[in-house]
Structure 1
Amino acid sequence: MLNPENLIRPEVLAMTRYAVTDADGLIKLDAMENPFPLPEPLAHELGQRLSQLALNRYPAPHPSALIEKLKRMMDVPSGCDVLLGNGSDEIISMLAVACARPGAKVLTPVPSFVMYEQTARLAQLEFIGVPLKDDFTLDTQAMSLALERHQPALVYLAYPNNPTGNLFDTDALEQIIGAAHASLVVIDEAYQPFAEHSWMKRLTEFKNVLVMRTFSKLGLAGIRLGYLVGAPAWLAQIDKVRPPYNTNVLTQAAAEFLLDHLTLFDKQAALLRAERARLATLLAQLPELTVYPSAGNFLLVRTPDAQRVFDHLLAQRILVKNLSKMHPLLLHCLRLTVGTPFENEQLLAALKTALVEA
């Protein structure tokens, strides 16, 4: 009798799906989302714009007006092109598929964004994870040795890193890029609105570097739009494995409209940066809690017992991310998204209770 085990690849059968917890009715601080909705007048204007779209027609495969506006608003260097994806996840998948020659490898520091490894394995690429140092900084010597030994097709460098939150040292990144002479290096700037540092303007200095960003952390996770920036010669090849209509008309129209309102999202990012600093200071005053520096819209903290604290927060209707099983360096670590001032106060109060009861 035919069943999935007869046809599905063994590595897929052995996988667990990417789990997303139902957050209905909870204070949702687990997924690094911008907590602020669109102001009502802007949401109404966007709704009117979307209501006029021809939903019976396929979307433009290369929406030129949106791409040109992106280039202007995001300071894309002259001579670079932009490739759109259904979130960064799809771009990571496209990169893996495009580079999946027999024996090809993907290399990244770990712990880092889990989709680098998952998409590599799905594309049957070997994944090489090089552990960060105990303080979550790059081990440049180990990275250089791994690059020399494995000659990976793809190298991912998250800037800032997820889930640790830190910005890797510029000199260390330059050293790794220089050592990755046989690799395509992708600098993932998903959290750039909160980091205020970027490699975008330096793209033309390197022949093997691309920058990847997303609208998700900016405040538009629901429209699922990511983009890849770099030399046209690279993007032209990656574009060949892109599904022909991968960004829908609603996403394209919403992004083009909301790019005219970047000042709103800039103000929200500034507020979240201020809340991040305030929250980090107050968390550091709690007993037995270690707070790590972050340039993202989240904070990594180490607790005496992450599962017990996680369960206590959940009982208080607050959802955070327990990272304890993700990597040995993250033992007893929780990742806390920076929310609204009210949400952050609720989180602090619940954490105080959880730690006192430890």
Structure 2
Amino acid sequence: MSELDTRKARFIRQDVQSMHGYAVQPSAGMVKLDAMENPFRLPEPLRAELGRRLGEVAMNRYPAGRIDDLRAALARYVNLPDGFDLMLGNGSDELITMLSMACDVPGAKVLAPVPAFVMYDVSARLQGLTFVGVPLTADFELDEAAMLAAIAEHQPAIVYLAYPNNPTANLFDDGAMERIVAAAPGLVVIDEAYQPFASRDWLQRATRHPHVLVMRTLSKFGLAGVRIGYMVGPKALIAEIDKVRPPYNVSVLNAEAALFALEHADEFARQAAVLRSERTRLIAALQRLPGLRPYPSEANMVLTRVPDAAALFAALKARKVLVKNVSGLHPLLVNCLRLTVGTPDENTLMIEALEASLK
């Protein structure tokens, strides 16, 4: 064993050494439909205007006032309820990490239906909390009885409910959600990362529950590269979570880009409308293809069960179309591909590649 191996074995946690890092698929030269990104760039006049704005940013100073401006702009954008506050994260991932840190009391557990966003589990375990996953039903609905039983048994500090869920893309039953929220002894976090594409949200309903936080991101809004997530909830609760936020966690460039985007929210709303329309077209096309079963979607992705996910993924990749093979994430996802909704041209290319691959 080398000296470095000895140091690693002694000082780096064994569970960390056993983990795999978050994998990002190489996508150069591909039709990239694997990561639920908004495929549209800003129109050229807006790109030029944004460039001028960013050129005036005082990068030699730590972020300060512009962060408060962004919080205020987001509060207006979401019509922040009375008595609520809003905090920022470097993407939703950082907010999830902060929640794990703030709720790391002895014996704390985090609970979520699975399959779900992998960072609920990863963040909990890295912080030393126990993660409890409760399988969804075969059609990806909440197993209400199992959720309520797990909550009663484990008394979780945090319950995550993604709305819509990733990777299944569906909105859970509202009645089941309400009963799970009412039964939770700790915090409930409603993760609305895909809210721009969904027909319902939980923000106003959250005002009826003092222990509910709503988490959103600007990534699906159209700013995946800017890395800004935000979380809203009762002021007293947000104040506690905000205590573990690192100083200056959002860069002044990212804040300025987000402010610019919110000033042009109509353009991003137009893009989301196109993607919702394209989602309908994509699902209809998938339903016509032999052996494919697309599931209902309220996000910018379509989970699709296929005869052989590995073979079809490889065939699409050979045709320069990159999607996500999620078969290995959970037994319920066997032979499932997750298809991101792209531009009209990208979706046509994906449909044509699917048709050719299935012959």
Pairwise TM-score range, normalised by the shorter structure: over 0.9
Distance in 1 (CA, whole Å) between partners of 2:110 and 2:119 is 12
Distance in 1 (CA, whole Å) between partners of 2:66 and 2:41 is 28
Task: In structure 1, list runs of 5 or more residues that go unmatched.
Answer: none
Partner of residue 80 from structure 2, selected from 76, 82, 99: 76
Distance in 1 (CA, whole Å) between partners of 2:178 and 2:279 is 28
Partner of residue 234 from structure 1, selected from 232, 237, 244: 237
- Match of 2:25? 21
Distance in 2 (CA, whole Å) between partners of 1:66 and 1:288 is 47
- Match of 1:296? 299
Distance in 1 (CA, whole Å) between partners of 2:41 and 2:9 is 44
Q: How many residues align?
A: 355
Residue 277 (str. 1) matches residue 280 (str. 2) = yes
Deviations along 1:188-230, one digit per CA (max 9) or x if unpaired, are 0000000031111122110110000000001110100000000
Aligned positions of 1:188-337 closer than 5 A: 188-337=191-340
Answer yes or no: is the 8 Å Cα contact 2:169–2:303 preserved in 1.
Answer: yes
Distance 1:98 1:40, change over 3 A: same
Distance in 2 (CA, whole Å) between partners of 1:60 and 1:105 is 35
Distance in 2 (CA, whole Å) between partners of 1:64 and 1:16 is 36
What CA RMSD, in Å, does the superposition of the two structures yield over aligned residues? 1.0
Distance in 1 (CA, whole Å) between partners of 2:173 and 2:332 is 19
Partner of residue 155 from structure 2, selected from 145, 151, 158: 151
Letter in 2 for 1:315: A
SS in 1 for 2:299: coil
Partner of residue 103 from structure 2, selected from 92, 99, 104: 99
Moved over 3 A (4+): none
Distance in 2 (CA, whole Å) between partners of 1:266 and 1:219 is 10
Deviations along 1:113-146, one digit per CA (max 9) or x if unpaired, are 0010000010010000000000000000000000
Distance 1:228 1:61, change over 3 A: farther
Residue 175 (str. 1) matches residue 197 (str. 2) = no
If the length of structure 2 is used for normalisation, what is the TM-score?
0.97
Distance in 1 (CA, whole Å) between partners of 2:78 and 2:179 is 26
Distance in 2 (CA, whole Å) between partners of 1:79 and 1:40 is 40
Letter in 2 for 1:142: A
Distance in 2 (CA, whole Å) between partners of 1:342 and 1:156 is 35
Distance in 1 (CA, whole Å) between partners of 2:180 and 2:354 is 39
Deviations along 1:297-341, one digit per CA (max 9) or x if unpaired, are 000001110000000011111110000100000000000000011
Partner of residue 126 from structure 1, selected from 130, 155, 161: 130
Letter in 1 for 2:279: R
Aligned positions of 1:101-116 closer than 5 A: 101-116=105-120
Answer yes or no: is the 8 Å Cα contact 1:77–1:203 preserved in 2.
Answer: no
Partner of residue 184 from structure 1, selected from 176, 181, 187: 187
- Match of 1:47? 51
User: What is the Cα deviation at residue 78 of structure 1?
Assistant: 1.4
User: What is the Cα deviation at residue 66 of structure 1?
Assistant: 1.3
Partner of residue 141 from structure 1, selected from 141, 145, 169: 145
Answer yes or no: is the 8 Å Cα contact 1:61–1:244 preserved in 2.
Answer: no
Distance in 1 (CA, whole Å) between partners of 2:50 and 2:65 is 22
Give me the identity figure in percent: 57
Q: Which stretch shows the higher mean deviation, 148-157 or 345-354?
A: 345-354
Distance in 2 (CA, whole Å) between partners of 1:4 and 1:161 is 37
Distance in 2 (CA, whole Å) between partners of 1:60 and 1:108 is 35
Task: In structure 2, list runs of 5 or more residues that go unmatched.
Answer: none
Deviations along 1:140-165, one digit per CA (max 9) or x if unpaired, are 00000000000000000000000001
SS in 1 for 2:170: coil
- Match of 1:66? 70
Answer yes or no: is the 8 Å Cα contact 2:341–2:347 preserved in 1.
Answer: yes
Answer yes or no: is the 8 Å Cα contact 2:158–2:189 preserved in 1.
Answer: yes
SS in 2 for 1:234: helix
Letter in 2 for 1:22: P
User: What is the Cα deviation at residue 61 of structure 1?
Assistant: 7.9
Distance in 2 (CA, whole Å) between partners of 1:204 and 1:137 is 24
Answer yes or no: is the 8 Å Cα contact 2:316–2:354 preserved in 1.
Answer: yes
Residue 32 (str. 1) matches residue 36 (str. 2) = yes
Distance in 1 (CA, whole Å) between partners of 2:131 and 2:108 is 9
Distance in 2 (CA, whole Å) between partners of 1:214 and 1:315 is 32
User: What is the Cα deviation at residue 62 of structure 1?
Assistant: 7.9
Distance in 1 (CA, whole Å) between partners of 2:249 and 2:95 is 10
User: What is the Cα deviation at residue 3 of structure 1?
Assistant: 3.1
